[in-house]
Amino acid sequence: MNRRTFAKTLSLSLAAIGIQRLPLIASTSTSPQFSITMDDFYWTNAVKLTATERNQSILNILKSNSIKAALFVIGSNIDSDEGKQLLWEWDKAGHMIGNHSYSHRNYSAPETVVAKYQQDILRAETLLKEFPRFRKYFRFPMLKEGETAAKRDAMRSFLAQHGYRTGHVTIDDSDWLIDQRLNARVKKDPTADVKPYREFYLEHLWSRAEYYDTLARRVLNRPVKHTILVHFNLLNGLFLNDAIAMLKSKGWQPIDAEDAFTDPVFLAKPNVVPAGESIVWALAKENGALSKDAHYPAEEGAAVSAQMDKLGL
């Protein structure tokens, strides 16, 4: 499938799930700014690159682009000397480190006990606070901030009491899903051509970046400083540099994550349930900018999987 056919298929599949390509407005002349915010820090799942190689590759990419990212760390991933050592590399390189809970559970699951969940966040903090670059930003695992107003508000108060801000995402995407396919392929055949995964990733990321940027300008009537969600995985170990280069080639300007988080959009507390997902999406939902039957793009894993099936990925 060539690029044009692919883009058309993607637009059609977005339309099918209630997401229209939104009309651009005049303020698009301001070039969008983006930061890299990377989640999880799973390093024991090394394929093709060792954990150290992947860590070094991602850090080199950020350095060569003069970008300070934010890394939202799952506490259990640094509850060992090796995990801590890998994280020290991020600290020494000056990247921001945030809290992503100890156990990475879904806060919106009905069985979640709020008090236990809060303890899980503090458990991660006990490990993270020895790192000078740790900042009190909490990113909800899977971006799930509570399926009821009571749970949502309980966590908002708890985070405020403990001096935390929410490490919101503006641009969500399914890099994790592409990475799953890439890993499966490389495990099966270590010599497999990985380039088609790169192509797919770049197209996918661009479509999500465009979508959320347009939505943000429509909802806020101004550009936002974007926080793009990506994961610490093989896909980014191999292709994060290409992803950054692609965004730059579209006129997007990289900024540091801590700078991005100064955008007032990150202080918003949208009155919607279920709470969570991209802050831009949540605000659009709150102010009625989305049709009632619109689905959250990143939830459409099935659509992304179908696209990859078609391409034999």
Closer to Zn ion by CB, 76 or 118: give it.
Answer: 76
Q: Is the link from the previous residue into 141 a cis peptide, with omega within 30 of 0?
A: no
Tell me the closest approach of the beta carbon of residue 40 to Zn ion, in angstroms. Answer: 4
Q: How many residues bind Zn ion (CB under 5 A)?
A: 3
Residue number with the smallest Cβ distance to Zn ion: 39
Tell me the closest approach of the beta carbon of residue 39 to Zn ion, in angstroms. Answer: 4
Tell me the closest approach of the beta carbon of residue 165 to Zn ion, in angstroms. Answer: 17
Please answer whether residues 169 and 278 qualify as being in contact, where contact means their C-beta atoms are separated by less than 8 angstroms.
yes
Region of 16-24, 34-42, 48-56, 117-125 interacting with Zn ion (CB under 5 A):
34-42
147 is a contact residue toward Zn ion (CB under 5 A): no
Region of 30-38, 40-48, 143-151, 184-192 interacting with Zn ion (CB under 5 A):
40-48
The partner residues of 35 in beta bridges, in order of sequence, read 227
Region of 35-43, 76-84, 235-243, 295-303 interacting with Zn ion (CB under 5 A):
35-43
Q: What is the DSSP string of the chain?
A: --HHHHHHHHHHHHHHTT-PPPPP-GGGGSPPEEEEEEEE---TT--SS-HHHHHHHHHHHHHHTT---EEEE-GGGGSSHHHHHHHHHHHHTT-EEEE--SS---TTSTT--HHHHHHHHHHHHHHHTTSTTEEEEE--GGGB--SSHHHHHHHHHHHHHTT-EE---SB---HHHHHHHHHHHHHH-TT---HHHHHHHHHHHHHHHHHHHHHHHHHHSS--EEEEEEESSHHHHHHHHHHHHHHHHTT-EE--HHHHTTSGGGG-----SS-BS-HHHHHHHHTT-S-TTPPPGGG-HHHHHHHHHHTT-
Region of 1-9, 28-36, 139-147, 191-199 interacting with Zn ion (CB under 5 A):
139-147
Tell me the closest approach of the beta carbon of residue 189 to Zn ion, in angstroms. Answer: 28
Closer to Zn ion by CB, 145 or 219: give it.
Answer: 145
120 is a contact residue toward Zn ion (CB under 5 A): no
Q: Tell me the C-alpha distance between 227 and 205, whole Å.
A: 13
Inter-helix orientation angle 301-310/3-16, to 10°: 150
Tell me the closest approach of the beta carbon of residue 140 to Zn ion, in angstroms. Answer: 8
Tell me the closest approach of the beta carbon of residue 255 to Zn ion, in angstroms. Answer: 22
Region of 37-45, 177-185, 199-207, 236-244 interacting with Zn ion (CB under 5 A):
37-45
39 is a contact residue toward Zn ion (CB under 5 A): yes
CA geometry: angle 280, 285, 290, nearest 5 deg: 100
Closer to Zn ion by CB, 143 or 238: give it.
Answer: 143
Closer to Zn ion by CB, 96 or 219: give it.
Answer: 96
141 is a contact residue toward Zn ion (CB under 5 A): yes
276 is a contact residue toward Zn ion (CB under 5 A): no
The single residue among 6, 10, 40, 281 that binds Zn ion, judged by CB under 5 A, is 40
Closer to Zn ion by CB, 40 or 175: give it.
Answer: 40
Closer to Zn ion by CB, 39 or 173: give it.
Answer: 39
Tell me the closest approach of the beta carbon of residue 118 to Zn ion, in angstroms. Answer: 18
Tell me the closest approach of the beta carbon of residue 311 to Zn ion, in angstroms. Answer: 26
Tell me the closest approach of the beta carbon of residue 104 to Zn ion, in angstroms. Answer: 6
Q: Give me Rg for the CA atoms of the chain.
A: 19
Where does this chain bind Zn ion (CB under 5 A)?
A: 39-40, 141
